[in-house]
Chain A
């Protein structure tokens, strides 16, 4: 009887592994590196703010936003108007878990770059990062501009995001094979894959206390001004 249960559990476990395998992120650190893209591992966000009650060492307050310049990998916590309204950053990581990512768009009254020179645009493509080889024409980028990428389907049905989130579990689950095509603050095309918000980029997090937010993401900026986003 006991053995039966053990065999049963073992079989179940194997079935689970087999059936879930294709949904899992099999990427390892090494194969995010394609030789031309920039891969950022575990970039710390505002790790002192908390999404839930009573998490030790964390404060109950809104997350402080940070700003990131793709070229040069520069992170800034300077939320002054002078910095926000400048082309010194391309994407801002804001709100809960710092996971609401805005592009630097001077024309978006709800974005952090409002009133500045930023030319930022962002669209989503449901395709793996390496398969996104050309950016759409600028008219299409403008027509489908999401302005931000965060919680998928929020606040409106058409707000395509990069993770699923539940206010019950407070877990942010990244959406696989979704790539964002951007225009940087200076108007260069880029592609971006937001990979994880949890430290160490674990394949699946079930623990609310897993250290967060620590961002893993990769991107490629086409510096020659063309729409070519081909990466190996």
Chain B
């Protein structure tokens, strides 16, 4: 009887909660990571950084804030500080936003961040795998292509006013989006002969380098190898998304020199 009442209450509360907007999602702050890393100018590879590990391909993966300067995750409560540099948002946490206090649509709007982002397209690298917007790849890009694309970028190729601040960079030509760093294969086009259950809705990383200006104004470059746990070269539907593996180089002297080892 007691249990019935509890159940009843729970159901009733659920019913009442229904009157609120369904789009409100609770803000859950991940526990603060207090490990200090002295990140010097150099190249770093981070594996299986846990973004929203509860994410399916639903649109509303929780935003995940990360500091390239300090190599740690930053809680959402510090979104208006210069403590974070990149946010992984949206579907599978695939849209990368930066921290810019002057940009109305940056999560850091109103804060001190001076960040920016720019996608470098490398025609020679693209020629190896890319067949055009919304088309299957010629072949799944090999890891060496990611490393080549990364190495080819030796400086920031554009002036600061060409860095994006309001816009994120995410899925390549998925619906109305434009150039991106990942191919979201909605229909399973990459493997047309396979059972769609196993090949549709896979997010393939692309060997394209992102230029990041950090919240504090340092320049960095990064390539994202994978958003699946274990960073498999060939992701499958059974892969677990929400785990970001990427390589980045950061220049701490304020210059745009990114030919770093």
Contacts and interface: CB of A to CB of B under 8 A. Distances in A.
Interface of A: 1, 4-5, 8-9, 11-13, 15-16, 19-20, 22-23, 51-54, 60-62, 95-96, 100, 110, 148, 150-151, 154-159, 164-169
A95 B8 CA distance: 44
Chief secondary structure at chain B's binding surface:
loop
A13 to B, nearest CB: 8
A62 B188 CA distance: 10
Given A1-B4, A110-B176, A155-B171, A8 B11 contact: yes
A60 B176 contact: no
Nearest to B55: A168
Contact of B90 (A53, A148, A154, A168): A154
A158 B187 contact: no
B153 to A, nearest CB: 23
A158 B18 CA distance: 27
A54 B196 contact: yes
B60 interface: yes
Interface residues of B, number: 45
Contacts of A54: 196-197
A156 B196 contact: no
B200 A148 contact: no
B108 to A, nearest CB: 12
Interface string B10-45: 011011111101110000000000000000000000
Interface in B55-81: 56-60
B170 A155 contact: yes
A110 to B, nearest CB: 7
Interface of B: 1, 4-5, 7-8, 11-12, 14-19, 21-23, 56-60, 90-91, 95, 97, 104-105, 134, 166-168, 170-171, 174-178, 186-188, 196-197, 200-201
A20 B176 contact: no
A54 B188 CA distance: 12
Nearest to B7: A8
Nearest to B16: A19
A159 B58 CA distance: 18
Contact of B175 (A16, A51, A52, A95): A95
A23 B105 CA distance: 27
B19 A22 contact: yes
- What are the 10 A-B residue pairs with the smallest beta carbon separation, nearest first? A155-B177, A19-B19, A8-B8, A167-B57, A168-B58, A15-B15, A16-B15, A12-B11, A157-B105, A168-B56
15 contacts: A8-B11, A16-B14, A19-B17, A23-B19, A95-B176, A96-B186, A110-B178, A150-B176, A155-B168, A155-B170, A155-B171, A155-B176, A156-B166, A166-B58, A167-B59
A11 B12 contact: yes
Given A154-B59, A168-B58, A19 B18 contact: yes
Given A20-B15, A167-B56, 14 more contacts: A5-B8, A13-B15, A15-B12, A19-B19, A51-B186, A53-B200, A60-B188, A95-B175, A151-B175, A155-B168, A155-B170, A155-B175, A155-B176, A166-B58
Contact of A12 (B5, B8, B21): B8
Contacts of B176: 95, 100, 110, 148, 150, 154-155, 159
